[in-house]
């Protein structure tokens, strides 16, 4: 076994960079992630699978004469390392010269560590048992499937030829579960939620929106269509808001700005949403189970406001596109957070004339213009301030640009998913139709 | 490697598998003339899965030596025993009707495309597209190849090796319309490696022209009318319909989870014109974008007729779901990488062709839509499905009219399939092949003829 196979991860990535330079690269960077993972996979009938894996993946990027190429490998077999060095070099030689191609200059920070290093298996097993026992006792119509209670401990190291060195370790738990209700031959739509935590969950019902979803599932067995096609309000649930934020983040990315295929180009400082809407990116916020202290280029991350009181404050641009665009980099998109409001969810529902409580979006990916259309899954019809019934085969259509402008309420309740935090958000102007 | 795995598999005392699995991939992408992706990847390792006390234990490591194999077997056994007594199903696994053996090597006989050749493919197409269509806001081109290579040895005696490649060239064009950005995506390629495909400008020029023209018509078009409509789904969408609307609903694990399909076996769920299956190998015509002969539990893959002349006939099974539902193992247990356990997954899912002509279907619609290309899709236990549509046209009085913008179509499969009045006589596998997400990604083939049916359409009009 060679010394490199057993070297600490930070020495491994530094040695890869050194070898790349010795082989003639002008610049190089290497990023390795060593991950130990354990999961319990279960459903309401019991445990199906326990899974333990260990893997280390490394991305090696070389720069030659302004051209860039990369190779990914896993493990540290000597022949694979050599093959990856050759593959990255061949890719770089075949690349297209671009002034934006180079490694980053950045401050090297002290190594950091977050969360536990090993799973508390007994606590995880107890959590699974308690979840299934409560589900059976208190929610007899609800079934679960593909429930995965997992633990991951990942060590990440970065090195580049400008001397940047970074290292962090993150350990934590995650629970993701699907649920449905079934009664006398009727089945409700699947619903799901997931969340991360640095400690074992006190109850798996506390993960994400799971408790609310389990509570609501039996009501979904008796869905009905909306009375007629109408343009109304949507009260977007926290799990569903992730779809809106994801579409917005993509539209604000460096890649989209570079192409021009985004409605938000040149709109920094402009109002792009209701003053009630504020979105921040918080990779270093200890209030989240996940995060990152540095990005794929080894640049330290920073917490920053993206949309402040409806005004576009920052884009999400990595090093390459920052250079292409001639703007500042905003390293690392993790832990999006939408600022909670002051109204309760009950008050928002009570003030809704006609609309839906929009729990899950199942639809086509929004296009560059942020038009969307899809099914409102696991959702409820709201009229004159009351939730009347679950929705059957109901489609929603609109545009996320307009929807953000049309937000008229944000709830004080919110859900921390471990990698994001979202409240309920109410907006108007969405086309709602059933068959 | 297969011989080493076989020697270790002899040590098992009950249902178990050992798998060596390597995923090889290349990715290159040009965005607005800049090379934004240019990489090659390999991820490999070994895994062991054992079934004891009604629970699976699974362990995987990146190392591939004897010590790693021993460690994987021991860890898997230890994990299987950790939650002993809490099994979801304390039953035996079903035994495959046929145990898989053999080599299924689809490696190209041609020399591998070099990094320079890969980038050149994109560079030539990008320069040509931007020169020919200067009004485009953007052109994205990407070239990707993925090969799944694996060796499998099981306690029951399966000994199989496979090498299954796929290569895809995709393009996305964006255009500024009067009311915002409009874009269109399409892909070419499919089964085989990059060097097996013709991605030259000469071969693809007319395809790019056609895509540009359809984007222009889409930009000039309008929004769909929300509501239920008569529609003609081209074969690309029929394939995704087979996968999303029916295939998922009939996966054994979803049937056990309460899928409505479980209550309908033997019942009429579709028009008599519909016969739909999930096929082994490379599908009924041997031309699918994906190939599989032995699944990751060591079962010989066999064709599954899901719907025959409108009647629900069968489900897709792993050894576990077959045991629980009293069915035969079908060879549908598949894993994406060495880190992943086998799950019930589709393979080549398709509606078989009928006797109707596309022109007749369009002529039979007074007020509806002709949808040509799909994006993403989702299924549900209720058989409700949806998928995105990125290309389509209005049909007015039996003739194609203006283009329509992106939309979503949905329905309840077992209701919607009863509305099928026409099934086309021309069968095609969808695009360059598809990926399906269900805990893990997996390569699948989807295909079919065009069909005419009644379906719900999203829209702002």
CATH number of residue A112's parent domain? 3.30.2290.10
Token readout for B393 is 């046209």
> Which residues span the domain enclosing A36?
3-219
The Cα A85–Cα A73 span in angstroms is: 10
Which residue on chain A is closest to B79 by alpha carbon?
A50
Flag whether residue B434 sits within 8 Å of chain A, measured between CB atoms. Answer: no
Flag whether residue B74 sits within 8 Å of chain A, measured between CB atoms. Answer: no
Residue B122: per-residue pLDDT: 97
Identify the CA nearest to A8 among candidates A102, A111, A144, A91: A111
Average pLDDT over residues B189-205: 97
Query: Do A362 and A261 have their domain in common?
Result: yes
Query: Do A114 and A229 have their domain in common?
Result: no
Query: Do A232 and A214 have their domain in common?
Result: no
The string of pLDDT tens digits covering residues B5-41 is 999 999 999 999 999 999 999 999 999 899 999 999 9
Instruction: Give the residue with greater pLDDT, A149 vs A329.
Output: A149
Average pLDDT over residues A280-298: 95
Identify the CA nearest to A197 among candidates A176, A167, A168, A169: A176
ipTM score above 0.95: no
Angle between helices B115-132 and A78-94 (to 10 degrees): 30
Burial class (CB in 10 A: 0-12, 13-18, 19+), A22: exposed
Query: Do A312 and A365 have their domain in common?
Result: yes
A-B C-beta contacts closer than 8 Å: 275
The Cα B439–Cα B431 span in angstroms is: 24
For A97, residues 6+ apart whose C-beta sits below 8 A from its C-beta are A65, A66, A67
Which residue on chain B is closest to A319 by alpha carbon?
B36
The domain boundary residue, chosen from A157, A192, A219: A219
Q: Which of A1, A42, A43, A49 to mutate to test the interface with B (most CBs of B within 10 A)?
A: A49
Which residue on chain A is closest to B57 by alpha carbon?
A50
Q: Which of A395, A396, A434 to mutate to test the interface with B (most CBs of B within 10 A)?
A: A395
pLDDT of residue B425 exceeding 90 = yes
pLDDT of residue B432 exceeding 90 = no
Least reliable range by pLDDT among A105-114, A398-407, B407-416: B407-416
- Domains identified in chain A, total number: 2
User: Where residue B461 falls among pLDDT bands split at 50, 70, 90?
Assistant: low
Domains of chain B listed by start with CATH number: 2-220 (3.30.2290.10), 227-457 (no CATH)
Least reliable range by pLDDT among A211-220, A259-268, A272-281, A340-349: A259-268
Query: Do A233 and A141 have their domain in common?
Result: no
Residue A2: per-residue pLDDT: 75
Query: Do A235 and A181 have their domain in common?
Result: no
pTM for the predicted model, two decimal places: 0.94
Query: Do A146 and A286 have their domain in common?
Result: no
pLDDT of residue A1 exceeding 90 = no
Query: Do A243 and A364 have their domain in common?
Result: yes
pLDDT of residue A261 exceeding 90 = no
Count how many residues are written for chain B: 461
Identify the CA nearest to B265 among candidates B205, B308, B319, B221: B308
Contact B395, B370 (CB under 8 A): yes
Flag whether residue B24 sits within 8 Å of chain A, measured between CB atoms. Answer: no
State the smallest CA–CA distance between residue B275 and chain A in angstroms: 25
The domain boundary residue, chosen from A183, A201, A219: A219
Average pLDDT along chain A: 94
Query: Do A277 and A415 have their domain in common?
Result: yes
Q: Both ends of chain A: CA-CA distance in Å? A: 66
Average pLDDT along chain B: 94
Query: Do A40 and A171 have their domain in common?
Result: yes
Query: Do A341 and A416 have their domain in common?
Result: yes
User: Where residue A364 falls among pLDDT bands split at 50, 70, 90?
Assistant: confident
The domain boundary residue, chosen from A183, A200, A219: A219
The string of pLDDT tens digits covering residues B27-77 is 999 998 999 999 999 999 999 999 998 999 999 999 999 999 999 999 999
Token readout for A282 is 């918080």
User: Where residue A171 falls among pLDDT bands split at 50, 70, 90?
Assistant: very high
């Amino acid at each position: 076994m060679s010394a490199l196979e057993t070297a600490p991860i930070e020495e491994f990535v530094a040695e890869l960079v050194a070898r790349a330079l010795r082989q003639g690269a002008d610049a190089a960077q290497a990023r390795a992630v060593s991950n130990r993972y354990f999961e319990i996979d279960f459903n309401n009938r019991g445990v199906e699978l326990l899974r333990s894996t260990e893997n280390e993946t490394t991305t090696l990027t070389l720069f030659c004469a302004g051209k860039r190429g990369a190779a990914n490998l896993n493990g540290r077999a000597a022949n694979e390392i050599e093959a990856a060095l050759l593959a990255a070099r061949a890719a770089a030689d075949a690349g297209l010269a671009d002034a934006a191609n180079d490694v980053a200059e950045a401050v090297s920070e002290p190594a950091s560590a977050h969360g536990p290093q090993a799973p508390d298996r007994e606590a995880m097993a107890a959590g699974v048992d308690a979840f299934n026992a409560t589900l059976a006792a208190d929610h007899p119509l609800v079934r679960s499937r593909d429930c995965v209670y997992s633990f991951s401990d990942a060590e990440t190291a970065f090195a580049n030829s400008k001397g940047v060195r970074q290292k962090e370790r993150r350990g934590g738990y995650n629970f993701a579960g699907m649920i449905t209700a079934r009664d006398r031959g009727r089945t409700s739509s699947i619903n799901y939620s997931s969340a991360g935590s640095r400690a074992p969950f006190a109850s798996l019902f506390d993960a994400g929106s799971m408790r609310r979803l389990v509570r609501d599932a039996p009501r979904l067995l008796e869905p009905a269509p909306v009375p007629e096609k109408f343009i109304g309000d949507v009260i977007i649930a926290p799990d569903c808001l992730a779809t809106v934020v994801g579409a917005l983040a993509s539209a604000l990315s460096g890649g989209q700005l570079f192409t021009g295929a985004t409605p938000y180009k040149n709109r920094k400082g402009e109002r792009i949403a209701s003053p009630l809407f504020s979105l921040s990116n918080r990779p270093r916020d200890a209030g989240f189970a996940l995060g990152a202290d540095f990005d794929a280029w080894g640049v330290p991350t920073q917490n920053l406001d993206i949309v402040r009181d409806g005004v576009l404050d920052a884009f999400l641009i990595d090093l390459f596109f920052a250079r292409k665009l001639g703007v500042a980099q905003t390293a690392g998109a993790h832990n999006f957070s939408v600022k909670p409001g002051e109204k309760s969810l009950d008050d928002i529902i009570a003030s809704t004339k006609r609309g839906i409580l929009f729990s899950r979006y199942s639809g086509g990916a929004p296009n560059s213009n942020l038009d969307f259309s899809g099914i409102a899954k696991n959702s409820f019809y709201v009229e004159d301030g009351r939730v009347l019934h679950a929705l059957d085969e109901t489609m929603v259509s609109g545009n996320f640009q307009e929807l953000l402008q049309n937000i008229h309420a944000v709830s004080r309740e919110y859900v921390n998913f471990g990698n994001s935090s979202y409240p309920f958000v109410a907006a108007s102007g969405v086309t709602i139709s059933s068959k | 490697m297969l011989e080493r795995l076989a020697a270790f598999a002899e040590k098992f005392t009950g249902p178990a598998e050992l798998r060596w699995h390597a995923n090889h991939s290349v990715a290159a992408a040009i965005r607005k003339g800049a090379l934004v992706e240019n990489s090659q990847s390999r991820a490999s390792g070994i895994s062991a899965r054992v079934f004891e006390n009604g629970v699976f234990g699974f362990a995987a490591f990146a190392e591939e030596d004897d010590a790693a194999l021993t460690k994987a077997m021991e860890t898997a056994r230890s994990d299987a025993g950790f939650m002993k007594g809490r099994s979801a199903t304390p039953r035996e696994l079903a035994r495959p009707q046929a145990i898989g053996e053999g080599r299924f090597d689809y490696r190209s006989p041609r020399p591998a495309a070099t990094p320079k050749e890969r980038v050149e493919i994109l560079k030539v197409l990008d320069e040509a597209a931007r020169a020919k269509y200067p009004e485009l806001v953007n052109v994205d081109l990407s070239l990707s190849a993925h090969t799944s290579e694996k060796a499998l040895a099981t306690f029951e005696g399966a000994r199989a090796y496979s090498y299954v490649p796929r290569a895809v060239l995709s393009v996305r064009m964006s255009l500024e319309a009067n009311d915002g950005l409009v874009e269109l995506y399409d892909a070419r390629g499919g089964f085989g490696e990059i060097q097996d495909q013709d991605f030259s400008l000469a071969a693809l020029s007319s395809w790019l022209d056609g895509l540009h023209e359809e984007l222009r018509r889409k930009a000039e078009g309008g929004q769909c009318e929300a509501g239920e409509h008569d529609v003609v789904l081209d074969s690309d969408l029929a394939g995704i319909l087979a996968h999303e609307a029916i295939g998922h609903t009939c996966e054994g694990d979803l049937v056990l989870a309460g899928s409505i399909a479980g209550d309908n076996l033997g019942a009429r769920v579709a028009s008599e014109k519909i016969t739909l299956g999930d096929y082994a190998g490379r599908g009924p015509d041997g031309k699918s974008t994906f190939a599989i002969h032995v699944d990751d539990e060591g079962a010989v893959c066999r064709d599954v007729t899901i719907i025959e002349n409108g009647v629900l006939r069968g489900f897709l099974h792993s050894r576990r779901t077959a045991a629980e539902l009293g069915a035969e193992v079908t060879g549908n247990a598949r894993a994406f990488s060495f880190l992943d356990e086998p799950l019930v997954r589709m393979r080549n899912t398709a509606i078989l062709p009928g006797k109707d002509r596309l022109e007749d279907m369009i002529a039979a619609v007074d007020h509806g839509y002709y949808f040509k290309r799909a994006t993403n899709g989702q299924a549900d236990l209720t058989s409700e499905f949806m998928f995105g549509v990125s290309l389509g046209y209005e049909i007015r009085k039996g003739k194609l009219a203006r283009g329509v913008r992106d939309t979503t179509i949905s329905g309840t499969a077992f209701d919607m399939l009863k509305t099928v009045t026409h099934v086309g006589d021309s069968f095609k596998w969808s695009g360059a092949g598809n990926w399906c997400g269900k805990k893990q990604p997996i390569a699948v083939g989807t295909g079919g003829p065009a069909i005419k049916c009644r379906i719900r359409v999203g829209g702002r009009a």
